[in-house]
Amino acid sequence: MTYDEMKLSALLCVTSESTFINDGSRHNRGVLGAPGTYQPEGVIVGMVGARFEREGVMEWQDCVVTPEQNTQERGYGDDPPKKRWLVREWGKLWGETPLPTWKQAQDAPENNFIHLSSRALMNVQVYQARIKLSAETLLAEAGVRAAAAGLKAYVHVVGLGLGVWLISSQQKQLYVNAWGEAMRNTDTTHIAHLDFSWIEASSCVGVNDGEVFPDTSVTIHFSRRCPHAPVPAGTLLVATFAWDSNSMPGNEYWKGMLSASGDPAAACSSGVAELHNALINPCVTAHNLHIASSGRVEHVAEYARRLLNERVGSSTSEEK
C-alpha cells in the first residue's frame, strides 16, 4: 500500500461479534482463562490511530507543522497550487481550511498548537478531529450492536496511537477529550459505559472517573481493566484493539510474537485473526462496507440511496 492508501484505510474499522477465551491481557498468549475471569462473548473492533513514524506522510501531513513541509508550494496556506488540491481536501475533512503554513501556525494563538521542537508543532484541532472521527464511528457501531441485542454497550477504549507512535505526552489528554466531543455528537441511547483503559488522562472534557457524562446516561471510567474482562449484567462488551492500516489482523501474531502489542494479544484471545481476515472470511469485502453516522450504521448502498433522496428532496423544496 502507498502512504496515501494507508492514510485512508486508517479511517476504516473492522468489526464483528466474537467469542473470547480469556481476558485479553497483553501477555495472554492464547491460554484458556478460568471461567468467570473473562466475558465469553461480545463485539470486537479493530481501529487505527494517528501514525507519526514517518515524517511528511499519513497523519503527519495534517497534524504536524514544520517549516519544510508547511509551505504554500506544498499546498498549505492561502492560494496553494492547484496540483496540491489533496492537501486542501484533507483540511476540509478536519474542519480546517486551509491547513496552515509554518508562519501561520507560529502567528496563531498559543493553545492551538503544541510545541514538539523548535521546528515542529502539533495542530491540536486537526489531531482531535482525526481521533473524533474514529470515536464517532465506534460509538455509532456500539450503539447499534447493543440495540440489536436488547442491551446497553460497555465500550472498552484502548489508546490508539498512544504507544510507539506518540509524539507528545499531551496527546493522551487530547485523545480522551476528542472522545468526549464525539459523545456530544453521537446518539448514546444504547451506551451505558465508556471505559478508557490504560490511558493516562485525568478526565474526559471535565468528567472524572465514575461520573456520568452530561446529557447522557453514560458512565465514564478510567481503568486498567483487560479488554475482555467481565462486564455488568445487562451490558454488551464492545472491545477495541489497536492495529495498523497495512497489516493482517493481529499484526505480529503472524510472526509468532504473541505478546508484542495489543494486536497479537487480541488475536490470541478472540477470533479476529480469522474473522477480520479478508483472505479467510468472505464477509470482509467492499461489498459489506457500512457507513456509521449518529444513531445508525447502514450499508454503503443504502447510505448513498438515502443521501441522494435527501438531495433530490432538498432541490424540489427549493424549486417550490
What is the tens place of the pLDDT at every residue in 9-30?
Answer: 999 999 999 999 999 999 999 9
Assess whether 154 and 263 both reside in one domain: yes
Residue 113: inside a domain, yes or no? no
**186 vs 241: CA distance, rounded Å:** 21
Three-state secondary structure call for residue 299? strand
Assess whether 161 and 41 both reside in one domain: yes
Residue 130 pairs in a beta bridge with none
Which helix (H) or strand (E) is 238 found in, with range?
strand 235-242
Reading the block at residue 169, the C-alpha cell is: 505526552
Q: Are 61 and 83 in contact (CB under 8 A)?
A: no
Three-state secondary structure call for residue 233? coil
Reading the block at residue 251, the C-alpha cell is: 499484526
Mean predicted confidence (pLDDT) in 69-94: 96
Domain count, the chain: 2
Assess whether 208 and 302 both reside in one domain: no
Residue 13: inside a domain, yes or no? yes
Assess whether 164 and 27 both reside in one domain: yes
Residue 101: inside a domain, yes or no? no
Q: Which residue has the cell 487505527?
A: 48
For residue 295, the model assigns a pLDDT of 75
Provide the pLDDT confidence category of residue 317 given band limits of 50, 70 and 90. low
Q: Is 191 exposed, middle or buried (0-12, 13-18, 19+ CB in 10 A)?
A: buried
Residue 308: inside a domain, yes or no? yes
Mean pLDDT of the chain: 95
Residue 279: inside a domain, yes or no? no
Which helix (H) or strand (E) is 156 found in, with range?
strand 152-157
**33 vs 27: CA distance, rounded Å:** 12
Reading the block at residue 76, the C-alpha cell is: 498549505
For residue 244, the model assigns a pLDDT of 85
**23 vs 130: CA distance, rounded Å:** 29
For residue 319, the model assigns a pLDDT of 60
pLDDT for 318 beyond 70: no
Assess whether 37 and 142 both reside in one domain: yes
Assess whether 32 and 135 both reside in one domain: yes
Query: 106 versus 313: which is more confidently predicted?
Result: 106
Assess whether 177 and 311 both reside in one domain: no
Residue 266: inside a domain, yes or no? yes
Q: Which of 152-166, 179-193, 299-313 has the lowest mean pLDDT?
A: 299-313
For residues 308, 312, 313, 315, the Cα torsion angle rounded to the nearest 10 degrees is 140
pTM, two decimals, is 0.94
For residue 312, the model assigns a pLDDT of 85
Q: Are 143 and 135 in contact (CB under 8 A)?
A: no
Assess whether 37 and 157 both reside in one domain: yes
pLDDT for 1 beyond 70: yes
**227 vs 239: CA distance, rounded Å:** 6
Q: Are 137 and 128 in contact (CB under 8 A)?
A: no
Provide the pLDDT confidence category of residue 293 given band limits of 50, 70 and 90. confident
Q: Which of 126-140, 167-181, 293-307 has the lowest mean pLDDT?
A: 293-307
For residue 320, the model assigns a pLDDT of 57
Provide the pLDDT confidence category of residue 246 given band limits of 50, 70 and 90. confident
Reading the block at residue 52, the C-alpha cell is: 507519526
Q: Are 136 and 294 in contact (CB under 8 A)?
A: yes
Q: Which residue has the cell 479511517?
A: 11
Q: Which domain holds residue 297?
A: 285-320
Assess whether 27 and 167 both reside in one domain: yes
For residue 245, the model assigns a pLDDT of 84
Mean predicted confidence (pLDDT) in 271-299: 94
Mean predicted confidence (pLDDT) in 172-200: 97
Provide the pLDDT confidence category of residue 116 given band limits of 50, 70 and 90. very high
Query: 246 versus 229: which is more confidently predicted?
Result: 229
- Percentage of the chain beyond pLDDT 70 is 98
Assess whether 209 and 297 both reside in one domain: no
Mean predicted confidence (pLDDT) in 277-299: 93
**44 vs 15: CA distance, rounded Å:** 6
Residue 58: inside a domain, yes or no? no
Assess whether 158 and 220 both reside in one domain: yes
Residue 45: inside a domain, yes or no? yes
Q: Are 192 and 219 in contact (CB under 8 A)?
A: yes
Assess whether 157 and 297 both reside in one domain: no
